[in-house]
Amino acid sequence: MSATFPTGTILGYPRIGRRRELKKAVEAFWAGKISVEELEATAASLRAATRERLASLGLGRTDSSIPEAFSYYDQVLDAAVTVGAVPTRFERLVKADGTVDLAGYFTIARGEGADTPAEMTKWFDSNYHYLVPEIGPETNLHFASDRLVREVAEATVSGFRTRPVIVGPVTFLLLSKASEGAPEGYLPLDRLDDLLPVYAELIAALTAAGAEWVQLDEPALVSESIDVPRDVVLAATKRAYDLLGAVPARPSIFVAAPYGSLDDALPVLLATPVEAIGLDLVKGDLPSGVSTDKVLVGGVIDGHNIWRGDLAAAFSSLESLRGLTPNVAVTSSTSLFHTPHDVDDEPLLGDQLKSWLAFADQKVAQIATLAKGLTEGRAAIQAELDAATAALDDRHRAAGVRDGAVRSRAAGLTDADFSRGEYSARLAAQDAALGLPFLPTTTIGSFPQTGDIRKQRAALVSGSISEEQYKQAMREEIKRVVDLQEEIGLDVLVHGEPERNDMVQYFAENLDGFAVTQNGWVQSYGSRCTRPSILWGDVSRPAPITVEWSTYTQSLTQKPVKGMLTGPVTILAWSFVRDDQPLRDTANQVALALRDEIEDLESAGIGIIQVDEPALRELLPLKKKDHDDYLDWSVGSFRLATAGVLDATQIHTHLCYSEFGVVIDAINRLDADVTSIEAARSKMEVVPDIKSSGFGRGIGPGVYDIHSPRVPSVAEVSELIDIALGSIPERQVWVNPDCGLKTRGYDETVESLTNILTATRAARAAHPVPAARG
C-alpha cells in the first residue's frame, strides 16, 4: 500500500545557503584551502539547516513533505554520476568500484588540462544552467553513486523522513547529447531500456534507507522544444513508469512536471502505476476531461518569481482540482531554488515593497497556509487570503507602479522607431569610420573582478571612501585593462566594467522602477550566484549611466572602444519582473531607457555600442504556440533600443548559453551589425546553423570557454577559427571569447587572450584578406 502524500510540499529549496556558504566552501576546495572532509561537513550542515528551517515554516518532519534535493554543483550532473554516465574522456576518474569521487565530479564540470568540461546550457526557460550528459552506445550505465541514498539515511538518523529528488529517466535522456563516438543519428533516448534498471535499483535502495516517497522530475514532458518526436517521448514515458511502478518494495512515486502544462503526457502518466503527479498551474492550465484517484499536486505557488501573488485565486485553483480527483495536494510550480531565501532578510527593501513579495521562505509558509485550507476549509485561512489580496491591491495603487510620462511615450511609438537603414549602407559607413582588420578581435566586455575591486566597492558602500576616491580607483583599473589590451593586440577594446557589480543589477541601480537586494542570491550555475533585481514599476532613465566611463576609456586609446549595455530582454530575464502587465510592455519601457543611453554614447563619440542579449533564447516559451509572440516582442525591444543610431555607429550584441539554431532567424532579425555567440565548449556546433540560415552580418563564434579555468592552447583556438572560416564568409568572422571574463583570474585571462591573438594572426597569414569585411 502506498504512503499518504503530504497535503503541502515544495519541489525543492535554495541549496547554496543563506550566505552562499556552499559557494564559498566549494571554491575553497577548488583552491586547495579546505579538505574534501571539510567540504562535506559544510554540505551536511547546510542540509541539516534546510530541514530544520522547512520544518519551522510548516512542513512536516516525518511525512515526506521536505524534499532531499541538495547538489554540490548541478542536479543533472548528479543524475549522470549516479547512473555512471561519465564522458569517455573522463573515464580515468572512475574508480575500481565504478564510482566517481567529489574531486572527479568537479573535474567533469570544470574540465582539466586538454579535457574540456561537460557542455553547459539553459535549464528550460529559467536562468539556471545545467551540464549536458553525454550518452553513447559505449556508456556504461550502472548504479554508480549512492550519495542520494546516504543523504536520505542522514536525514532519517536526525529524525526526518524526507523525499529524495532526482531528475527523471526520460528527462535525463532527452537532455543528454550523443557522445562523440556515437554513430550518426544516435539518440540518447535509445538507452532507456538500459537506464531503467539503474533507476529501479536506485529507488529500491532509497526504500531501504527509509524513503516512503521519491520525486522524479520530468520537466522535459512539458516542453515542445525537445528535438525528439512527441509520440516517441510519450511512448518512452509510458515504458519508464510502467517499469518503475512495477519495482517491488519501492517507495511511492511522485512525478513532478514543472515549467508548463503536461498536456498529452498527463493521460499517459495517469495510466501508469505512479501514485502522484505534480502539475504546474502557474505557467500551465488546469487539466480538463480528467478523472482519477491519483494524487494531483497543484503547483499554484510561483517558484520562478518573487511576488506574493493572489493567494485566494491559488486556493480556488486547488478547489477546482478537486473536481478531477479527491486526492489534492499543494506545492510550488517549480523548485524554489530559483528564488532567494527570505524577504525578511532584506534591509535594503522598503516595508511596502516587501509586503508585495514572497521569497522561498514566504512561499513555503504560503503552501502551509493553503494545505491547511485543503484540510480544514477556506474559512480556516480566510484571514491569510484577505491579507494577500490587500497587499495585491496596495501594489496596484502604489506610486511608481504606473508612470504617465513613460506610458505616453510608449504609446506614441511607430514602426519607424524599430528600424535602421539598410545593412549595406551601414557596413560601408562603418568600414570607413572604424578601419578594422580582417578577423577583428575583441572581448565580450568584462575583465576579471579582482579582490581589490570588490574591496573598493565595499568601501564605497560602507562610506570609508568617498565617491571620487572610488571613481579614481576604477579609472586606474580601466587604464590597466586598456594597457593590457593594447599590449596583447586586441583590435576593439572594452573598459572592463570594474564599476559594475553585475551586468543587470548595475543598470537596475540606475533606472527608475527597480529595486535591488542585499542577500537575494540565487544559483546560476555551479558556484556562480547572482542577485536578480526586482522590476516593480514603470521604467525610465533619470540620467546617463555609462557615458562617463566609456568616454574616459576612449580618451586612453586610439583604437575603438565599445560602449557596453545590457539589452532589454536580458534585463527582464535576469530580474524578477512585475507580473501585472504583458512582458512586451515592460520590455519596451526598458528599451526606451536604453535607447536614450545609446544616443548619449553616440553623441559622446563612441562608435561601437554593444547591447548584450545572452538571455534571448532562455525566455523562449516551451510551447510552440507562444513562440511567435515572444520572438516578435523580444526582437522588437532590441530594435527599439538600437534603431536610433547613425549608419556609421556599429551595433554589437552578444548571446550565450543556448541552442542558437532554435532562434537563429530571430537573431538575424535583431539586425545587429555584429553578433558574438558562445560556441567554444560545444566546438562550434552552432556554425552549421549560421551557414544554413544565410546569416549575412558580422558574427563572432566564441573561441575561449570562459566558464572553465582551462587555458585554450593556440592549436585549440586555431582549430575553432578554421571551423568558423570553413562555413562562414571570411569577411563576416570576428574572433572573441564566449562570454565576459568577470569570473576568471588575470593570469589565465592574459594567457588565453594571448593565445587567441597568436592564433588569429596565424589565420590572417593563412587566408587572403577579403575584399570587404562585415
Report the distance separating Cα 113 and Cα 702, nearest Å.
Answer: 19
Q: Is 276 helix (H, G, I), strand (E, B) or coil?
A: strand
Distance of CA 379 to the CA centre of its chain: 40
Beta bridge partners of 130: 121
The CA-atom distances, in angstroms, between 257 and each of 15, 170, 282, 510, 694 are: 20, 12, 12, 38, 37
Q: Contact, 222 vs 622, CB < 8 A? A: yes
- Pairing type for strands 163-167 and 67-68 reads parallel
Report the distance separating Cα 314 and Cα 385, nearest Å.
Answer: 9
Report the distance separating Cα 169 and Cα 82, nearest Å.
Answer: 12
- In this structure, what are the phi and psi dihedrals at residue 529, rounded to the nearest 5 degrees? -125, 150
Long-range own/partner contacts, residues 413-418 (CB < 8 A, 24 or more apart): 413/588, 413/640, 417/640, 417/643, 417/644, 418/636, 418/639, 418/640, 418/643
Beta bridge partners of 213: 252
Q: Contact, 277 vs 297, CB < 8 A? A: yes
Report the distance separating Cα 237 and Cα 219, nearest Å.
Answer: 12
Report the distance separating Cα 270 and Cα 291, nearest Å.
Answer: 9
Least Cα distance to 240 among 260, 265, 263 occurs for 265
Number of residues assigned to the chain: 774
Active site residue 707: yes
CA dihedral (419, 421, 423, 426) in degrees, to 10, reads -130
Report the distance separating Cα 50 and Cα 151, nearest Å.
Answer: 13
Cell numbers linked to 369: 497556509
DSSP codes joined into one string, 49-113:
HHHHHHHHTT--SSSS-SEE---SS-HHHHHHHHTT---GGGGGG--TTS---HHHHHHHHH-BT
Burial of 180 (0-12, 13-18, 19+ CB in 10 A): exposed
The CA-atom distances, in angstroms, between 67 and each of 82, 152, 325, 412, 430 are: 18, 10, 24, 50, 56
The CA-atom distances, in angstroms, between 497 and each of 484, 546, 549, 616 are: 14, 10, 9, 22
Which residue of the set 338, 495, 654, 707 is catalytic? 707
Instruction: Count CB neighbours of 693 within 10 A.
Output: 14
Report the distance separating Cα 42 and Cα 73, nearest Å.
Answer: 14
DSSP codes joined into one string, 155-181:
HHHTT---EEEEE-HHHHHHT-EE-TT
Report the distance separating Cα 44 and Cα 772, nearest Å.
Answer: 60
| Active-site annotation, residues | 707
